[in-house]
Amino acid sequence: MRSSQNAPLALLAIGIIAVGGLLMQWASSEAKKSPAPGSGVPGGQQIINHIETVQHSANVQAAGDYHIEAQIDRQGRIVLYIYGAKEKQLFPIPVMAPDMGMEASAVTKGDGSESLTITARPVATDPPGMTSRFVAELGRTVETMQVGLSLTIPIEGRSYRLQWRPEHLIPGAQLADVSMPAAVGDVEAQKLFLTPGGLYTDADIKANGSQTATQKYGSQMSQHNAHPKPGEALCPISETAANPKFAWVIGGKKYLFCCPPCIEEFVKRAKEKPESIKSPESYVKL
């Protein structure tokens, strides 16, 4: 008699255990979907498929372990997206004041450069005070095919210098090579490269041909390779693979860089913070 009375309770207990098991399985599967700690992707961050995972689109530049996507339309609106190491996942950074190291300029064939005002435009899923998107306006309608972009952006304590040719800003476009002017004005460049200071000496100036990096290398640009092989030289600024054709003598030693704008940044550092400069052998992929 007692066993028959306990039967409903036993069935109820079995049901509770079964439902609990299903809930645990669901929680486990959801946890696997969340980004791992230290992955550089905030929990619940939206994934936007703007760039490829196997090979970068033409308008994506590597900045160390990060990726910057730049787009421009014919009305002169420039949009920048920041991605983490996983490329498709947006990587929000703190919204910055204009004087905190983020600079951009549009570069046009024959017209020189034009400074841009970069404004944070967070996407819906960016945390408060953070943004993974920036925009800038040229203020005029342009022929998109003739406008490139130069960008300096700080991410997690490091500053990256990136450049896009006009054809880079339009994925798939087949365009002739377009020259890009100096990243800094002529007067500033002359002062930077042709006056000694810190580790940068008169002997270095002569060794470099008594010219600026742009005068020496013209408008040559380099694609940033963020995956150098062990033993390969690294650019001291971008920490991407160095290109032997972009060399500069500082402190009597030859350093290799990924592009002329990084030479500019390194010379500034050698003059203003000489104690931070390491030997060329230190900038190698381990």
**How does residue 102 score in pLDDT terms, banded at 50, 70 and 90?**
confident
The answer, yes or no, to whether residue 208 has pLDDT greater than 90, is: yes
Q: What percentage of the chain carries pLDDT values higher than 70?
A: 64
What whole-number distance in Å separates Cα of residue 66 and Cα of residue 87? 7
Predicted local distance difference test score (pLDDT) of residue 22: 53
Q: What are phi and psi of 94, to 5 degrees?
A: -60, 140
CB neighbour class for 124 (10 Å; exposed up to 12, middle 13-18, buried from 19): exposed
Q: What's the mean per-residue pLDDT of the chain?
A: 74
What pLDDT does 96 receive? 74
| Residue-level pLDDT at 231 | 93
Q: Contacts from 107-115 at CB under 8 Å and sequence distance 24+?
A: 107/147, 107/148, 107/149, 107/150, 107/163, 107/180, 107/181, 108/142, 108/146, 108/147, 108/148, 109/146, 109/166, 109/178, 109/179, 112/181, 113/150, 113/181, 113/182, 113/183, 113/185, 114/138
Is the pLDDT higher at 261 or at 181?
261
Q: Which residue has the higher pLDDT, 191 or 71?
A: 191
Whether pLDDT at 241 is above 70:
yes
Domains of the chain (ranges, CATH numbers) = 60-169 (2.60.40), 186-282 (no CATH)
Distance, in Å, from the CA atom of 147 to the CA atom of 71, rounded to the nearest integer, reads 11
- pLDDT top residue among 51 and 86: 86
Q: Give the pLDDT confidence score for residue 51 in this predicted structure.
A: 42
pTM: 0.46
DSSP 35-100: PPTTSS--TTPPB---S-SSS--TTEEEETTEEEEEEE-TTSEEEEEEE-TTSSBB--EE---TTS
Confidence of residue 53 (pLDDT cuts 50, 70, 90): very low
Query: At 99, phi and psi to the nearest 5?
Result: -95, 15
Separation between Cα atoms, residue 26 and residue 101, nearest integer Å: 45
Dihedral (CA of 87, 91, 97, 101) sign? negative
